[in-house]
């Protein structure tokens, strides 16, 4: 993570072009501590109101918080809400030259009623929307295309924020793709929920959430494995180069056609309000791509920024310094912090479950660590949110494998496991079976590698008793510790003969 922190700190000030539906978000705050005597409804004692920018204007707002220059392209109505939206855009010093007024449509606005009780965090009670999803007339569409032609050549990246309110017509989207290709700048599209995915055909990058990806593919995305299938189908069916699939608490998944997906897992967060998390992912991804980063690197940082966003009410800016602090913290964290005691493992697992996260457990000797182990652990990690790995102590390995084992000492084996990004925690296991740890950690999923069968997995009866899952991962042919040990012995024998 060191290079990400250094590159993020050194990142320049990019100009990003944002195209899409402009929305005015109105918040009404209040205290909701009693029921009306007139009807069985809450009484909200008003404590204030606030207007914020939403939709594509939300993406622009977040980019301004990240110290970007932003050109915004979209439509507002010739009404009071349109005037308010334009005023907020100007206050944030967003380039509003191409925020066009369409007298034939109302400005889209959403009013959220939020109430709190006993001084707790406020929560949404009701949302009221006013909008038109009609496609703009031909003259307005041509004006939008003219705005794209004037602005994209001066941009470092183009972001399409489609909320399905009419601005992102197929012709507008196609123009963005063509101009971006002509001027060699990256493009990312946040797709709308209730539109045909055909309008994004050939997109360089799309960032759907699981609902949008499910609607486009017909795949019910309940797991990371389902998400892999959906992401691959989006690429193949619609000619999309890359899919950055948003899986809320399960993080992000990077998919390309017929390539292994990359799972960027999230860190546990106290979720206050998911509003703006998708906009934040689009904003940070666009900024990183504009600076020449790989999509995997961009996704790492976007995941961090989205974590900040869900902890706050409504769309709220996150600064570069906040993200840098997390990157630097991860940079300074040694692998030793992943190696924990069984008591710490028990406490962490309990906390994860309270946060609604899925705990995964696997165990083994992991002597003479090889690529097969890596593949097995990556598959195990994809089964949930936090992977605990128990590694047999030296004494335990001797009892199980004989006096010649282990070849690698327990502290070294634990350090190797802790160095893997897919592994969250490592526990040195003194016993010959994982029974004691399984009762303490209480994993949702117990994973073991083939050739074991489910009925042969040690500890499976404990996990099954409380309703947990047992999963068998695929092995990598030709890779095993025993085979490696045999090859080493044979090589040493040949070498000794040559020396003699």
pLDDT recorded at residue 488? 61
**pLDDT-wise least confident of 18-27, 59-68, 263-272:** 263-272
Mean pLDDT of the 81-106 span: 96
pTM of the model: 0.67
Sequence spans of domains, the chain: 2-332, 335-485
User: How far apart are the C-alpha atoms of 274 and 329, rounded to whole Å?
Assistant: 24
pLDDT band at 269 (very low <50, low <70, confident <90, very high): low
User: pLDDT of 395-413, one tens digit each?
Assistant: 999 998 888 888 899 999 9
DSSP 336: G
CATH topology classification for 335-485: Rossmann fold (3.40.50)
Six-digit token string for 324:
């840098």
**pLDDT-wise least confident of 15-19, 64-68, 211-215, 452-456:** 452-456
Distances (CA, A) of 11 to 72, 128, 215, 290, 418: 22, 40, 37, 10, 30
For residue 380, pLDDT over 70 is answered with yes
User: How far apart are the C-alpha atoms of 265 and 253, rounded to whole Å?
Assistant: 8
pLDDT recorded at residue 194? 83
For residue 355, pLDDT over 70 is answered with no
Give the active site residues: 279
Which candidate, 480, 77, 59, places its Cα nearest to that of 282?
A: 59
Average pLDDT taken over every residue of the chain? 87
pLDDT recorded at residue 454? 77
pLDDT recorded at residue 496? 39
Give me the DSSP letters along 83-134. Answer: HHHHHHHHHTT-EEEEEEEETTSPPEEEEEEEEESTT---EEEEEEEE---P
For 62, other C-beta atoms within 10 Å of its C-beta total 28
pLDDT recorded at residue 124? 83
pLDDT recorded at residue 499? 37
User: pLDDT of 289-344, one tens digit each?
Assistant: 999 998 988 999 999 998 887 776 667 788 889 888 888 776 555 566 788 888 88
pLDDT recorded at residue 495? 43
Give me the DSSP letters along 450-475. Answer: TT--GGG-TTHHHHHHTT-EEEEEPP
Mean pLDDT of the 194-219 span: 94
User: pLDDT of 134-152, one tens digit each?
Assistant: 999 999 999 999 999 999 9
Q: Which residue has the higher pLDDT, 351 or 206?
A: 206
Residue percentage of the chain with pLDDT more than 90: 56
For residue 12, pLDDT over 90 is answered with no
Q: Which residue has the higher pLDDT, 386 or 453?
A: 386
pLDDT recorded at residue 477? 57
Length of the chain: 500
pLDDT band at 486 (very low <50, low <70, confident <90, very high): low
pLDDT recorded at residue 344? 86
pLDDT recorded at residue 494? 44
CA 395 to chain centre: 41
Question: Spelled out in words, what is the top-level CATH class assigned to the domain 2-332?
Answer: alpha beta
Geometric angle at alpha carbon 296, from 291 and 297, rounded to 5°: 45
Contact 310, 277 (CB under 8 A): yes
User: pLDDT of 42-56, one tens digit each?
Assistant: 888 888 898 999 999
Six-digit token string for 306:
């989205």
């Amino acid at each position: 993570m060191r290079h990400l922190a250094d590159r993020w700190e050194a990142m320049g000030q990019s100009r990003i072009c944002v195209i899409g539906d402009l929305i005015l978000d109105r918040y009404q705050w209040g205290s909701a501590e009693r029921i009306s005597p007139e009807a069985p409804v809450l009484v909200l004692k008003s404590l204030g109101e606030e207007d914020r920018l939403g939709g594509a204007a939300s993406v622009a707002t977040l980019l301004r918080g990240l110290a970007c220059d932003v050109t915004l392209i979209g439509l507002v109505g010739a009404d009071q809400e349109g005037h308010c939206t334009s005023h907020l855009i100007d206050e944030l010093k967003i380039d509003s030259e191409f925020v066009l007024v369409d007298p034939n449509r109302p400005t889209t606005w959403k009013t959220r009623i939020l109430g709190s009780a006993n001084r707790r965090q406020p929560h949404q009670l009701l949302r009221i929307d006013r909008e038109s999803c009609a496609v703009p007339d031909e003259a307005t569409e041509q004006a939008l295309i003219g705005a794209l032609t004037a602005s994209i050549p001066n941009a470092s990246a183009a972001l399409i924020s489609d909320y399905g309110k009419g601005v992102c017509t197929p012709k507008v989207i196609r123009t963005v793709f063509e101009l971006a290709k002509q001027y060699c700048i990256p493009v990312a599209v946040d797709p709308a929920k209730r539109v045909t995915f055909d309008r994004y055909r050939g997109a360089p990058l799309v960032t759907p959430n699981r609902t949008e990806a499910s609607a486009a593919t017909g795949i019910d995305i309940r797991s990371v494995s389902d998400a892999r299938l959906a992401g691959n189908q989006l690429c193949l069916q619609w000619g999309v180069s890359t899919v950055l699939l948003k899986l809320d608490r399960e993080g992000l998944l990077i998919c390309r056609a017929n390539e292994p997906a990359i799972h960027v897992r999230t860190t546990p967060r106290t979720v206050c309000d998911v509003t703006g998390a998708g906009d934040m992912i689009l904003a940070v991804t666009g900024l990183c791509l504009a600076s020449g980063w790989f999509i995997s690197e961009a996704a790492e940082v976007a995941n961090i920024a989205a974590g900040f966003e869900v902890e706050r009410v409504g769309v709220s800016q996150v600064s570069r310094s906040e993200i840098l602090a997390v990157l630097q913290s991860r940079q300074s964290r040694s692998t030793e912090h992943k190696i924990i005691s069984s008591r710490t493992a028990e406490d962490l697992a309990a906390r994860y479950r309270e946060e609604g996260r899925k705990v995964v457990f696997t165990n083994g000797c992991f002597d003479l660590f090889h690529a097969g182990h890596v593949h097995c652990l990556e598959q195990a990690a994809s089964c949930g949110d936090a992977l605990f790995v128990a590694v047999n102590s030296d004494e335990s390995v001797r009892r199980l494998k004989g006096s010649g084992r282990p070849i690698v000492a327990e502290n070294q084996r634990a350090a190797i496991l802790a160095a893997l990004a897919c592994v969250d925690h490592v526990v040195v296991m003194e016993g010959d079976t994982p029974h004691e740890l399984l009762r303490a950690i209480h994993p949702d999923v117990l994973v073991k590698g083939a050739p074991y069968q489910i009925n042969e997995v040690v500890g499976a009866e404990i996990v099954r008793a409380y309703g947990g899952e047992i999963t068998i991962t695929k092995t990598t042919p030709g890779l095993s510790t025993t085979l490696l040990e045999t090859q080493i012995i044979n090589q040493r024998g040949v070498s000794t003969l040559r020396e003699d």
